Amino acid sequence: MRICVTITLHPIPGSPPMTVSKTATLNLRIDPRIKEAARIAAQRDHRSIANLIEVLIRKHCEANGISIPEQHSLFQEANNE
């Protein structure tokens, strides 16, 4: 499996001009049947595949007691290194 992470800046609608939300790109290889099932599930939920996967990861983390750090704390840690 090959994973590539890229940081992309997107303005948050309705927020002050200097506020941005950062997203990371995650490229991975999966079975085409799983991808098709994800496409169908996302379509039924009126979501993108990316959003569906994010929601599933958040639910999994919540169910298993894994906290998801706030974005600003991640970038503060990176700046301190």
Residue 74 lies in a domain: no
The span from the CA of 8 to the CA of 20, in Å, is 10
Q: From residue 31, give the alpha-carbon distance in Å to each of 1, 34, 60, 74, 81.
A: 11, 5, 20, 31, 37
Question: Which is more confident, 31 or 11?
Answer: 31
The answer to whether residue 2 is domain-embedded is: no
Q: Of all residues in the chain, what percent carry a pLDDT higher than 90?
A: 48
Q: Is residue 1 part of a domain?
A: no
d(CA 15, CA 22): 14
pTM, full prediction: 0.61
Domain count, the chain: 1
> Which domain covers residue 42, as residue numbers?
7-69
- For the segment 41-70, the average pLDDT, to the nearest whole number, is 93
Rounded mean pLDDT, 54-68: 92
Query: Is 75 inside a domain boundary?
Result: no
Within a domain: 78 = no
